[in-house]
Chains A and B, each alone.
Chain A
Amino acid sequence: MKNYDRLIFELSVKGRTGYSLPKCEINNYALNDLNSTLLRTEQPDLPEVSELDVIRHYTNISHKNFGVETGFYPLGSCTMKYNPKINEEIAAMKAFNSVHPLQSASEVQGVLKIYYELQAMLADISGLAAYTLNPFAGAHGELTGLMIMKEYHLQRKDFKRTKVIVPDSAHGTNPASASICGFEIIEIKSTQEGTVDLEQLKLALSDEVAGMMLTNPNTLGIFENNIIEISKLVHDAGGLMYYDGANLNALLGKVRPGDMGFDIMHINLHKTFSTPHGGGGPGSGPVGVKEFLVPYLPNPQVKLLDGHYYFNWNQDSIGSVSGFYGNFKVWLRAYVYILTLGKENLKLVGEYSTLNANYVRVNLEDDFYLPIKGFSMHECVFDGLKDQSSGVTTLDVAKRLLDYGFHAPTIYFPLLFHQSIMIEPTETESKQTLDDFIAVMKKVAEEAKNDPQMMKLAPHTTPISRIDEVYAAKKMILTYKDYLKENR
């Protein structure tokens, strides 16, 4: 059923039902009180299918899924590590499932204890004073962190600081979050080695700069060796340092952003701390700060007094960024993950993820062009095939990988190179898997030389081969109704 491609609507047969509802016990609807424009005049357009139709349909569709649990998924900058099942087991426990956000603090002491302890663990791991777990996603965390930066300057009555420095290698969310927060962006160019250019930074700094956003290791998987000096320059100019936690996996238990001079950071729990990667959510983007910024953390905060956990509402806070206190079941999984590994094993995450990325890098150097030499951290970036004479591009390589059962790495990002291939294996992959992947990558490089035409048409074994990307972007068909209109 690999090529199963039906829509549930197409299975519909008039009059077929897969359910039986109990007799309706309410006879008196006060429909007359409703505005007639709110009343439905025709039946909803729902598929009429049996239970078995539905089960087969969704089971067949599910077989088309590709995830970490089906195969290797080396998506750069996304840290697609395997999420241990113990996270799920704990999160599914009845005690956690029946908690309601409107319950009083005294009734949910256990939940608040986990909140309090997790934020303390994250603070310990990152060298900061305290965390809020309230933001619903990494990007939400970024916005929250920048609001804290803004509030800090405003409460000092330093109204001139309206600009945020972002390196050109940054993730797109950095300038986006800063812009949404009302800051003007100063983009600074990277050095040839892909790191922050200190001279460019000095030129950009002024008393109008609120702070700088940085990922370390950066988007090329390179550690910013000048980080102490960068922090000092920004601090001397009166700005704050913001750490984008996207690449925290490489440093886990080894180096702490707080020690590098960062004042504020967010963590993408789904990357580093093995919570589910969305599909749109639910996510979690905790934000941590140095001691002097703690008063600005969003409300409510969870505090501990005489063995009792309570919600604290702080006057200086930026306010609430979420209803209640974040996605509990998501940060619960991160809590389980950290406790499962323990402090002594957490640092192996950074070590193994870095070792794996370097293993891949060294083994592919002969076939793929490595624009920046030297050690990488948790991911490595190639600029396409070493031999590009046959016209085979990074896109073709990525498509061909699908034929071999691998998810494609991140391509055409970072934007610093024209043919970027960004590989992040993570610490959860074995040497065998990496060897298989390396062998296939080498084989694909060989195929690119010998049979470029075949590469241009790859993938050959997937249900759908190349899609018309221009048509898909220009002519979006998002609903079944649109589809019918288009195909009538």
Chain B
Amino acid sequence: MSKVLEGYFYAESHEWAKKENQFAYIGITDFAQAQLGNVVFVDLPEVGALVKKGKEFGAVESVKAASDLISPVSGKVVEINEDLVGEPEVINQDAFASWLIKVEISNPADFNDLMSAEAYKNIAK
């Protein structure tokens, strides 16, 4: 059974977003990492890049498959998690601690379309 944490917002494409003031941290869910299997590579955007809700912003590659990363919210990338580039396997160890990018939110209403932990639990099984 995959972990689903309270306090995070969830997208159908199995990314999470965590709000912190005008910023959002974005990562993939525990369910996503379990389905992917061992992650060997992450491809992240540059700082300053614009990401769009529902659009691809990077990719994650595992021993099984390569998957697009879909942004749950729109905004500007202010930081990327450099640690993941050398050590992507930490995503498998703790997907909720392994944020991928930090985004300055351009449209706070984007969060209204995302799921609560309760709702996501029904999908992540």
Contacts and interface: CB of A to CB of B under 8 A. Distances in A.
The yes or no verdict on A and B being binding partners is yes
Interface residues of A, number: 9
B38 interface: yes
Nearest to B34: A418
Contact of A415 (B38, B40, B65, B89): B65
B60 to A, nearest CB: 13
B64 A412 contact: yes
A473 B65 contact: no
B2 to A, nearest CB: 12
A345 B21 CA distance: 70
Given A469-B38, A473-B40, A474-B40, A412 B89 contact: no
A470 B63 contact: yes
Contacts of A415: 65
A395 B36 CA distance: 12
Given A412-B64, A412-B65, A415-B65, A473 B41 contact: yes
A19 B89 CA distance: 50
Q: How would you classify the secondary structure of chain A's contact residues: helix, strand, loop or mixed?
A: helix
A167 to B, nearest CB: 16
B35 interface: yes
Contacts of B38: 469-470
A470 B35 contact: no
Q: Is chain B's interface secondary structure helix, strand, loop, or mixed overall?
A: loop
Interface residues of B, number: 10
Contacts, number: 20
B27 to A, nearest CB: 19
Interface string B13-45: 000000000000000000000010110110000
Interface in A452-478: 469-470, 473-474
Contacts of B37: 395
Interface in A95-113: none
A412 B35 CA distance: 10
Interface in B36-74: 37-38, 40-41, 61, 63-65
Interface string A398-421: 000000000000001101001000
Nearest to B39: A470
Given A418-B35, A474-B40, A469 B63 contact: yes
A332 to B, nearest CB: 37
A412 B64 CA distance: 7
A182 B114 CA distance: 33
Contacts of A473: 40-41, 61, 63
A418 B33 CA distance: 12
Interface of B: 35, 37-38, 40-41, 61, 63-65, 89
